[in-house]
Chain A
Amino acid sequence: QQQVKQSPQSLIVQKGGIPIINCAYENTAFDYFPWYQQFPGKGPALLIAIRPDVSEKKEGRFTISFNKSAKQFSLHIMDSQPGDSATYFCAASRGGTASKLTFGTGTRLQVTL
């Protein structure tokens, strides 16, 4: 039973494009929604996170959109670069912290020249 569903599984965009990765959650007790970025051979690292009291959060070229009523959130990468090529995981937790994260299945992003 996947509590956080993520799509697509993989994504290829050209440099400058805007990849969008979507996640949906089941548990309404979740109140913290981070995105982690993972490069090959490395552990995941926190990229950006949002709480359900706001509908959007931007950090540099990365934006999270959050729809509480639909129980969905998404990651947008503006002006994508080849260096953004990585696997992206959405996650969710209760209590507003990084404790006991429930992860999505991951999206492998490739940004081509």
Chain B
Amino acid sequence: DADVTQTPRNRITKTGKRIMLECSQTKGHDRMYWYRQDPGLGLRLIYYSFDVKDINKGEISDGYSVSRQAQAKFSLSLESAIPNQTALYFCATSAKDKEQAFFGQGTRLTVV
């Protein structure tokens, strides 16, 4: 089983719809992240959380919101999806004071 699991893996949604991407981890890490990957732009940080009560905006948080339901769960919501939110989304985790981030397999989101 994957240590960082994202659901769904693929999703097509219509403009204006609300959509939630979910992430769960079994690594026991406190820190969780949502990144967005676009061709030619690399990965950009959307939101991050250092513990259950901590939520922080990243580089590109406009149009997104998150919820940290438990240490192991971190979800990303698009309240009203728009086509330029079409991208590959990655959840990641890391432990405090550790060097390695662990990524899920990604969710490919298409907004039509």
Contacts and interface: CB of A to CB of B under 8 A. Distances in A.
Interface stretch (B13-21, B62-70, B72-80, B101-109): B101-109
Given A43-B4, A44-B90, A98 B42 contact: no
A103 B43 CA distance: 6
Interface in A64-113: 89, 96-106
Given A44-B43, A105-B42, A97 B58 contact: no
B61 interface: no
Which DSSP category, helix, strand, loop or mixed, fits chain A's interface? loop
Give chain A's interface residue range (CB within 8 Å of chain B): 20 to 34
A98 B98 contact: yes
B45 A101 contact: yes
A44 B103 contact: yes
B99 A6 contact: no
Nearest to B45: A100
A61 interface: no
B96 interface: yes
B42 A89 contact: yes
A100 B99 contact: no
Contact of A45 (B44, B59, B99, B103): B103
Interface in B81-112: 90, 92, 94, 96-101, 103-106
Interface of A: 4, 6, 9, 32, 34, 41-46, 49, 89, 96-106
Interface of B: 4, 31, 33, 35, 40-45, 48, 50, 58-59, 90, 92, 94, 96-101, 103-106
8 tightest Cβ-Cβ pairs between the two chains A and B:
A43-B103, A98-B101, A98-B94, A103-B42, A105-B42, A103-B43, A46-B100, A106-B42
